[in-house]
Chain A
Amino acid sequence: MSSRLAARERRAAWQFLAPCMAALTLVALWPLGRTLYFSLTDATLDDPANFDLIGLQNYIDIATDPDWWNAVGNTLFFTAVSVAIETVFGLGVALLLNTAIPGRGVLRAAILIPWSIPVVVSAKIWQWMLHDQFGILNRILIDLGLVEHGIAWVAEPGLVMWVVIFVDVWITTPFMVLLILAGLQMIPAEIHEAALVDGVPWWKRFWSITLPMLRPAIGVAVLFRALDAVRMFDLSYILAGNGVRTMTISIYARNQLFGVQEVGLGSAASTWVFFLVGIVAVIIIATVRIDKRSAG
């Protein structure tokens, strides 16, 4: 290719990229820069025009706040447990849907319903179903004679985190199913048949063939879900409000910004959230080596 042709193609590439980059600058880069800048100030919400630069003081304040570390713990616990359960369930359902069972098409569509409902609506539905006096779950448990009084699912300190995890699993397992099912369908049937003819038992076929070949698909699914889970806000906030047991780092950042009205502190907390999401992403990508294709 001549250098003039190459230059023309480069110019065309930039022209195509320009609108996208302008939009990203406007909606992502600029707010991010603002947040970073405010995190170094003592700005407040009632008078945001009047502030001083105070260096890294906000970051230090947050790092020494036990509430912050409680929120970090909650978030990491929620992420690890919910994503783990969703992966196992998702894999199980995907394997089931990948076999030729009757009514598979209907099942595949039906399973998407929880995923298609807005999280706020799902959370509200579950809140009602789990209500200590009027909830259907307690009704069933009482009618079955398993409990005498309704259980206050979201008010019980030992239970509330598990309720949040349960609802999250209910909502997002379909997402896992879809991604893993797509991965399963990429595996050529002849590979399974070769193993079948070779007399490889089913557990060995699953463990040594299906699972390794699914690794990229599972890796991507876990990455997406984990990044979502680390910045989870709505589910906890609706089910348990500002409860200390379920406070995530996003709720913490929101509280600093709007509750305490400290723009500087809130921005610093948001930046911490940003870093944490980044760290989790790096760890997952490094562990599952998504970039290295295992199925090639």
Chain B
Amino acid sequence: MASVALRSVRKSFGPVDVIRGIDLDVADGEFVAIVGPSGCGKSTLLRMIAGLTDLTAGDVSIDGVSMLDVPASKRGIAIVFQSYALYPHMTAGRNIGFALETAGIAKAAIREKVTRIAAMLKIDHLLDRRPRELSGGQRQRVAIGRALVREPKVFLFDEPLSNLDADLRTEMRVEIARLHDELKATMIYVTHDQVEATTLADRIVILKDGHVEQIGTPKELYCRPANRFVAGFIGSPRMNFASVGSGGLALPIGSEPVAAIGVRPEAVVVQPRPGDLSARGRLVRVEDLGHEQLLYVALESGAANALPWTVRLAAGQPVPPPNEPVALGWSPAAMHRFDAEGRRIGGAAS
């Protein structure tokens, strides 16, 4: 097991800066998720830790030892790819054990180890099948088995669940969480899915355009997002935003230079009449999800980017009639405030 440290890591492909100076410390045994929209450089960052992509500047170290001159195979890492990258002409069992074949380990020992790992991943009955005879989830398990067999110090996951359908994704998410609990291994997990990141990770790194927007626990990112980007990225349905001041909402926000506010959908309530903190709008759509209802309300003024606000309503709660004017309200504690650059102001919201 090992710690991983990135220092001022940069990567440029020709004139394009993909990673613009990233510092990150991953503690021994920690599960860190790197999240961001597509094209933010998260996979490149992972590949640089793996040794598959060179750094333009900066340093990557594992257990305090610089890895700049260490080839991928000697870094003590294993990587699970989005495409699984299984060897298509080998059985699942040989796929898992292949790395050991050249390590001078006896065939019987390899077989025993492969069987043990396969049992742990519940694929011991599939070892004689080729990858094309396996389902997506089973292939993913084989790919994880291939990573496990080498007993790496650090596990790297590159969007491992993106090719799976929703049910399997949930199942494999639980599986990866279980593995992390059992192995106590350091894991770095790249995903564009904030749900995966918040459910799995001890800490989350939010990446955008090659630089870090915020690093923190899922709770920290949810409750105290450092800026509007993070606030909008973490949480589903996403946070509601509105501009304040001229052309926006008229709110009693004090003397600070607040340009916009954000309120999470579950903190918004439908009120009979407008209060201190409130906005007026028109109900445009209701989605009944069974366990809850989502109301979409187009604000009269101030809705940033003209996106309707989302209101979460418990199942069975009365819904106002469609296309009628409604008043939305929220408590001061639930209101996130942002300045003109999108940076967070103050410490409110819990």
Contact = CB atoms under 8 A, between A and B. Distances in A.
A201 to B, nearest CB: 6
Interface string A173-210: 00000000000000010110111111111001000110
Contacts of A195: 87, 98
B50 interface: yes
Contacts of B283: none
A204 B72 contact: no
Contacts, number: 67
B89 A294 contact: yes
Interface in B90-107: 90, 98-99, 101-103
A197 B50 contact: yes
A208 B98 contact: yes
Given A204-B101, A204-B102, A197 B78 contact: yes
Contacts of B79: 193-194, 197
Contacts of B74: 199
Given A190-B83, A193-B52, A296-B130, A198 B88 contact: no
Contact of B98 (A188, A193, A198, A294): A198
A200 B102 contact: yes
Interface residues of B, number: 27
B85 interface: yes
Given A196-B52, A197-B78, A201-B102, A191 B85 contact: yes
A196 B73 contact: yes
A295 interface: yes
Contacts of A71: none
A92 interface: no
Q: Chain A interface secondary structure, helix, strand, loop or mixed?
A: helix
Contact of B52 (A197, A201, A204, A208): A197
A296 B132 contact: yes
A295 B88 contact: yes
Choose among A198, A213, A294, A296 the residue with the greatest number of B CB atoms under 10 Å from its CB: A198
A33 interface: no
B128 to A, nearest CB: 16
A212 interface: yes
A64 to B, nearest CB: 47
A208 B97 CA distance: 13
A193 B103 CA distance: 18
Contacts of A191: 85-87
B72 to A, nearest CB: 5
A290 to B, nearest CB: 15
B146 interface: yes
B81 interface: yes
A208 B99 CA distance: 11
Given A198-B146, A199-B99, A296-B132, A212 B89 contact: yes
A107 B73 CA distance: 32
A197 B132 contact: no
A196 B88 CA distance: 16
Interface string B164-184: 000000000000000000000
Interface string B56-87: 00000000000000001110011101010111
B332 to A, nearest CB: 50
Contacts of B285: none
Given A194-B146, A295-B88, A296-B130, A200 B50 contact: no
B85 A188 contact: yes
Contacts of B146: 194, 198
A199 B85 CA distance: 15
Contacts of B102: 199-201, 204
A296 B87 CA distance: 9
Given A200-B102, A295-B89, A194 B81 contact: yes
Contacts of A296: 88, 130-132
A194 B79 CA distance: 7
Nearest to A295: B88
Nearest to B158: A190
Contacts of B343: none
A96 B278 CA distance: 68
Nearest to B103: A199
Contacts of A199: 73-74, 99, 102-103, 150
Contacts of B78: 197-198
A69 B295 CA distance: 87
A209 B99 CA distance: 12
B81 A190 contact: yes
Interface in B40-55: 50-52
B224 to A, nearest CB: 37
Interface in A133-177: none
22 contacts: A188-B83, A190-B83, A194-B81, A194-B85, A194-B87, A194-B146, A195-B98, A196-B52, A196-B72, A197-B50, A197-B73, A197-B77, A197-B79, A198-B73, A199-B102, A199-B150, A200-B98, A200-B99, A209-B87, A213-B88, A294-B89, A296-B88
Interface of A: 188, 190-191, 193-201, 204, 208-209, 212-213, 294-296
Which are the 3 A-B pairs with shortest beta-carbon distances?
A199-B73, A198-B99, A190-B85
Given A198-B98, A199-B99, A208-B90, 19 more contacts: A190-B83, A191-B85, A191-B86, A191-B87, A194-B79, A194-B87, A197-B50, A197-B72, A197-B73, A199-B73, A199-B150, A200-B98, A200-B99, A200-B102, A201-B102, A208-B87, A212-B89, A294-B89, A296-B132
